[in-house]
Structure 1
Amino acid sequence: MAAPVPDDPLPAIDPELLFSHLSHAKGILAAVSGGPDSMAMMHLLARWGLEHRVSILVATVDHGLRPEAAEEAAFVAREAAALSLPHRTLAWTGEKPKTGLQEAAREARYRLLIRYAREVGASHLVTAHTQDDQAETILMRLAKGSGLKGLTGMRRERNREGITHARPLLGWPKAALLDLCQTSGWRFVTDPSNTDERFARVRWRRLMPRLAEEGLTASRLARLAERVAQADEALEMKAREALEGAAPEAGEGGLSFQAACLAEEPFEIGLRILAQALGRIGLENIRLQRLESCVERLRTAILASESLRLTIAGALLALDRSGRLSLRPEPPRSRGR
């Protein structure tokens, strides 16, 4: 469901509305840490899954970073069993990095969850990200100088290697889920890392009340993300149309097209045209600054009718004097030189 309008009173949480987009799922894997957000989701899913005859399984990831984590996973297993839901603890083993720990833990978490979803034949993975999580994500990306695509925040649904990752609670504040747990008598645990200021997300979380006093509430930040997502979708569509109109030709693992569109279209569209072209040869998630620099150089060369050769993120780009741009992956031996 859509995020509530800022300052509007929240309606009661209705599982029918919350999970309606999951009714076609062929098995749902719920990632449950034991906190109030995920415990509320598990209880609501259990009730909904029973009524709709959708198989619900539960998994808890033990990152091996805190001694309490094993007992928290065992707690979730007991609570899931009480709801007749199968549970599995997934352990992140091996040496942990000394820097970028949260990002590494996040990548490991999804790797384990997606692998297990495939193992049990689940088509969907659901996580309990909330409106507050969305707001924190937007603030963190703003601070890093993100472009429009980054400011779309977390999507309600996305594809992860063939598994649909859904975030049904993204329109709800943490306070509503905590209140639901307390009034319903649903037990939960508190993760001390949620107050550890070594982590950027925790520091942003502590700033949220001050920002809300000035009107920058989690609800308004979440609404901003939705509006940016709408603009992002429109720009992507325009870029796709421009690329299709540039006579693209694929062959031998590469792609070529008439590059005049990179100079004729607004700069933002040019960025997306190049990103989409690179995506067609298997290169995605390229840093915005590198794309910007590359498009600037290409536009200059196109307007001057000059040839140009350059590389970006594992791709070789060659612009000839006729204005046709060819893209292909770098040979393995060339990468990193």
Structure 2
Amino acid sequence: MKKKSLNAQKINHKYLRKLLNQNQVKLIFNKFEKQLNTQQSYLVAISGGPDSLALAFLSKCFQLKYNTKFYYYIVDHNLRVNSSKEAVKASKILKKINIKCRILKWRGSKPSSNIQAIARHYRYALLEKQCVQTKSTNILLGHQKEDLYENFFIRMIRGSGLKGLVSLSKKYTNNKINYLRPLLDFKKRDLEKLTLKVFNTFIKDPSNTNENFTRVRIRKLLKNLQNEGLDDKKLNLTIQNLKKSNNALEYYTKKNIEDNLTFQVNKKKAFLSKDFLNQPNEVIIRSLNIILKIIGGQYYPPRGKKIDFLINELKLNKNFKKGTLGGCLFKKINETIIISKERG
């Protein structure tokens, strides 16, 4: 390494240590570092907004303190005219604290509806590919407390079940990759203050003020609800209570799968015993969604009405022979239900 680069690194490290000695920064970092494992490596997903830049700073501090491997990525969705310029700008901002950030591009045709959800799906797919290349199993995301609240109300408006209402968790696993949200207990204003203290700038996403997006309208609604007395404490309590109920259902779902399901060795077929359907409806739905994802290979579970219809057919229709759902074929032979991947 060149002497100039080494000197630049020393200056950056000194700057970071100085920031960490400030009380407010120290409090945030202490809370952050408890959520990571010093023996594992991490990918950090960055957008250039205040939340993700705060995540990048905290990750860099953790990296220096524990000599842990971190890989930093920006996904350029190419959905806006200036998205590529913004990605380059974000990578330049990160150079202030000696973070080398790689830009991943989402290529191909773009959706005209459900844009944010589809973009998220492709973003995560690109990041998961990098996990394979870097031999890492952890991705850090910059969601914070307001994101948690917004997600809760979006799911409520869509008529989501209990699992959907509490879906934004600190950790979830997909394709053997852990998605971690270490900022979920932090308020946006505190992260924005931290980002301005460290970088003196951040990128403003114009979609954050575009009321064509549901999330933006929900954000506005939340401000009005706060004026009516719905504060952080009450909303947190509601979400935590729902999470406890969800955890109980998860326990019985796992038990149903362990007791009443047999997979073929290659997991291309599943065999359900008659007791699989002798459970509360929500447990059956969750159990089936897990099987459908494994065998059908589809990212999203089928709509509630479709899965309810199939469950009723399996339970009540004595003449049921076969049916399809979520890319899977269901056959009933005597008291056994056989699930396999649908052909074509």
Shift of 1:150: 0.7
Shift of 1:147: 1.1
- Is contact 2:170-2:181 (8 Å) kept? yes
- Cα distance in structure 2, aligned partners of 1:223 and 1:153: 16
- Is contact 2:313-2:320 (8 Å) kept? no
Q: Per chain length, whose mean CA-contact separation is higher, i.e. which structure has more relative contact order (CA < 8 Å, sep 6+)?
A: 1
Give the corresponding residue for 2:336. 324
- The aligned amino acid for 1:45 is S
Compared with structure 1, are the counterparts of its residues 183 and 219 closer, same or farther at alpha carbon in structure 2 (3 Å cutoff)? Answer: farther
2:328 to 311, 315, 326: 315
Shift of 1:174: 0.8
- The aligned amino acid for 2:213 is F
- The aligned amino acid for 2:91 is A
3-state SS of 2:35 partner: helix
- Is contact 1:274-1:295 (8 Å) kept? no
The TM-score with structure 1 as length reference comes to 0.83
Root-mean-square deviation over aligned CA pairs? 2.7
- Is contact 1:59-1:89 (8 Å) kept? yes
- Cα distance in structure 2, aligned partners of 1:310 and 1:105: 32
Q: Which runs of 5+ in 1 are unaligned?
A: 1-9, 333-337
Give the corresponding residue for 2:58. 44
Give the corresponding residue for 2:147. 133
Compared with structure 1, are the counterparts of its residues 75 and 24 closer, same or farther at alpha carbon in structure 2 (3 Å cutoff)? Answer: same
- The aligned amino acid for 2:330 is L
3-state SS of 1:149 partner: helix
Once the two structures are overlaid, the 10-residue window that deviates more, 113-122 or 219-228, is 219-228
- Is contact 1:314-1:329 (8 Å) kept? yes
Compared with structure 1, are the counterparts of its residues 257 and 74 closer, same or farther at alpha carbon in structure 2 (3 Å cutoff)? Answer: closer
Matched, 1:111 2:125: yes
Shift of 1:195: 0.3
* Residues 25-40 of structure 1 mapped to structure 2, 5 A cutoff: 26-40=40-54
- Is contact 1:62-1:70 (8 Å) kept? yes
- Cα distance in structure 1, aligned partners of 2:68 and 2:201: 24
Shift of 1:81: 1.9
The TM-score with structure 2 as length reference comes to 0.81
- Is contact 2:25-2:194 (8 Å) kept? no
Shift of 1:300: 1.7
Give the corresponding residue for 2:279. 265
- Is contact 2:76-2:104 (8 Å) kept? yes
Give the corresponding residue for 2:176. 162
- Cα distance in structure 1, aligned partners of 2:164 and 2:148: 12
- Is contact 1:131-1:218 (8 Å) kept? no
Shift of 1:45: 1.6
Matched, 1:255 2:255: no
Compared with structure 1, are the counterparts of its residues 276 and 82 closer, same or farther at alpha carbon in structure 2 (3 Å cutoff)? Answer: closer
Give the corresponding residue for 2:312. 296
Compared with structure 1, are the counterparts of its residues 209 and 104 closer, same or farther at alpha carbon in structure 2 (3 Å cutoff)? Answer: same
Once the two structures are overlaid, the 10-residue window that deviates more, 63-72 or 241-250, is 241-250
Once the two structures are overlaid, the 10-residue window that deviates more, 189-198 or 99-108, is 99-108
Compared with structure 1, are the counterparts of its residues 151 and 76 closer, same or farther at alpha carbon in structure 2 (3 Å cutoff)? Answer: same
Give the corresponding residue for 1:192. 206
* Residues 52-91 of structure 1 mapped to structure 2, 5 A cutoff: 52-91=66-105
Shift of 1:277: 4.4
Compared with structure 1, are the counterparts of its residues 185 and 278 closer, same or farther at alpha carbon in structure 2 (3 Å cutoff)? Answer: closer
Shift of 1:158: 2.1
- The aligned amino acid for 2:341 is P
Instruction: Summarize deviations over 1:262-310 as a string: whole Å, max 9, x none.
Output: 1x33222232343344455355623222221211222223xxx655432
Matched, 1:98 2:109: no
- Is contact 1:134-1:170 (8 Å) kept? yes
User: Could you tell me the percent identity over the aligned residues?
Assistant: 27
2:243 to 229, 240, 263: 229
- Cα distance in structure 2, aligned partners of 1:139 and 1:247: 35
Instruction: Summarize deviations over 1:15-68 as a string: whole Å, max 9, x none.
Output: 233133322454322122111111111112211210011122322222223333
